[in-house]
Amino acid sequence: MVGVIIFVVASTALLSWSWVRGIDYMKENHPDYKGEDFLDWGDDDVTKTAGRDGWDDNIIHSEGDF
């Protein structure tokens, strides 16, 4: 049981350390990056049809439709 607790604490510490180093790296090497291209929430008028953007929420599907 103690071994599991030590493993969880060590894994969490390693993950936290890596995350902080990644944030520090981005801050030093890419100070102007805002992350706006990650989710592409721009105000452009491009019609997208891939993935969830092409889904029509007004159509109801039931078991008999399949």
Residue 28 and residue 22 in contact, taking contact as beta carbons nearer than 8 Å: no
Q: What are the extents of the domains in the chain?
A: 1-29
**Tens digit of each residue's pLDDT (9 = 90 or more) over 3-58:** 999 999 999 999 999 999 999 999 999 888 887 777 666 555 555 555 555 566 66
Check residue 5 and give its pLDDT: 97
Check residue 48 and give its pLDDT: 53
Check residue 29 and give its pLDDT: 93
Q: Distance between CA atoms of 29 and 17, rounded to whole angstroms?
A: 18
Tokens of 37: 């291209």
pTM beyond 0.85 = no
Q: Find where tokens 């592409």 sit.
A: 40
Residue 19 and residue 27 in contact, taking contact as beta carbons nearer than 8 Å: no
Rg (CA), the chain: 22
Q: Find where tokens 């929420």 sit.
A: 57
